[in-house]
Amino acid sequence: MLTIKKSNGTINGEQHVTFENNMYEHMKYKRILLKLSGEALMGDRQYGIDPKRLAEYAEDIKSIIEQNVEVAIVIGGGNIFRGVAGASHGMDRVQGDHMGMLATVINGLALQSALEDAGIPTRLQSAVHINQVAEPFIRRKAMRHLEKGRVVIFGGGTGNPYFTTDSAAVLRAIEIEADVILKGTRVDGIYNTDPEKDRSATKFDHITFEDVLRKGLKVMDTTAFTLSQENELPIIVFDMNKKGNLLKVVLGEKIGTKVNL
């Protein structure tokens, strides 16, 4: 099914791997932006990063890279620090948000390491300049990395306080011309009420942007959601913790909930 060919040459001193796969033509999405929460990296822990969960995510991401899908990722930082929480305890909001941005870079470094352990070339770009550990965000460079089959992780949020990583995910997805935003969560889609609190909650397989707003459903923060709607960028909310779901979504299977016009 999958044939892997290693080129004999190098580009900029780096050997490149190309994949041939007859499944590629059936892929629904060719370039995706995967949004992960920082809490997702905790696994069963109360805080921090679970190496086992990281490895599981890396294998799932590798499964779609091997189908020639171009992958960009935005990760939150809530497993380490959340600016809003700091502000609620008297900390200056701008300082807190800057701490949260640095937390997303830490998570990005951890995911980069896990992906490279799985054999996937990866680049970390940061909206906050930390040149010793990450490239600065440059749109054309990010798109070139994607075209070469590298995973690009965007850290540092938007680089500005008062904006969430949801906003960063939508912004970067629009900039790199992604086909879709895949929001990986611990629930299998969007419900009319919280399914973790209400067993009678009803799941939506598909819902429009307008219906989400009318029903007051929480998919992303309002700024991010409106930006996605205005740019006609679909969002799919799915359970990232179920192995194989990411590949199924990219193949176009009805996993999770799709939000579009």
* pTM for the full predicted model: 0.88
pLDDT for residue 6 is more than 90: no
- CB contact burial 7-25 (16+ within 10 A = b; e otherwise): eeeeeeeeeeeeeeeeeee
Q: How far apart are CA 95 and CA 89, in angstroms?
A: 13
**Taking all residues of the chain, what is their mean pLDDT, rounded to a whole number?**
90
Q: How far apart are CA 1 and CA 119, in angstroms?
A: 19
User: Which residues sit opposite 35 in a β-bridge?
Assistant: 74, 183
Residues 230-257: pLDDT tens digits? 999 999 999 999 999 999 999 999 999 9
Residue 13 is predicted with a pLDDT of 52
Residues 87-131: pLDDT tens digits? 777 889 999 999 999 999 999 999 999 999 999 999 999 999 999
Q: What six digits make up the tokens of 228?
A: 């996605």
Query: 29-260 adopts what CATH topology?
Result: Carbamate kinase (3.40.1160)
> Phi, psi (5° rounding) for residue 231?
-100, 10
Residue 51 neighbours by CB distance under 10 Å: 13
- The domain ranges of the chain are 29-260
pLDDT for residue 3 is more than 80: no
Residues 151-200: pLDDT tens digits? 999 999 999 999 999 999 999 999 999 999 999 998 999 999 988 889 89
Alpha carbon separation from 126 to 101, 118, 142, 169 (Å, rounded):
9, 22, 11, 13
User: Which residues sit opposite 70 in a β-bridge?
Assistant: 31
Q: How far apart are CA 150 and CA 75, in angstroms?
A: 17
What ranges in 70-137 are assigned the alpha helix state H? 83-88, 93-117
pLDDT for residue 18 is more than 90: no
